[in-house]
Structure 1
Amino acid sequence: MVRTPLTPEERERGERLGRLLREARGGRSMTEVAASAGISAETLRKIETGRAPTPAFFTVAAVAGALGLSMDRLVESCEPSAPVAA
């Protein structure tokens, strides 16, 4: 199966998600948050840096839960016109 290239909008949304999660993580270590979410630190690093712009839903939900963020908040904050705020 060939994966279609991401659109610029999809890449931007992934970058916005990464920035939001990184800001919400604050002073907590990446390893601590990843362990709390049940994912690897490398996966979290890829999401935060935009190298994984379309992470799986349950991965995002687990990280959001570990950070105390609601999924509604993530959706609102990742809209193209929304300002990024933690």
Structure 2
Amino acid sequence: MSDLRFQQLLDCHTPEELIRRFRRALKLAENTGVSVVRLADMVALWEREQRGQYRAKAPQRFAFVMSDAYFQARALKTAAGD
């Protein structure tokens, strides 16, 4: 997934847009190593934040959790390619 696509995923404003972007991300990942439970948790977290229910700690917020997972996956892919 490109950085631009990832930024667009983080900047979703509607549930439909979020689901559409997650579907594209899953297709790019060829559905490998994707936890359905984790994906559902992320959708629920995004939804809570859209209603103004933010977690107190930043590492538990949608953008942080998604960014952490994204950059870990990129690092693993880079390491595997070397």
Q: Which has the larger radius of gyration?
A: 2
TM-score (structure 1 length as normaliser): 0.37
TM-score (structure 2 length as normaliser): 0.38
Greater length-normalized contact order (CA 8 Å, ≥ 6 residues apart): 1
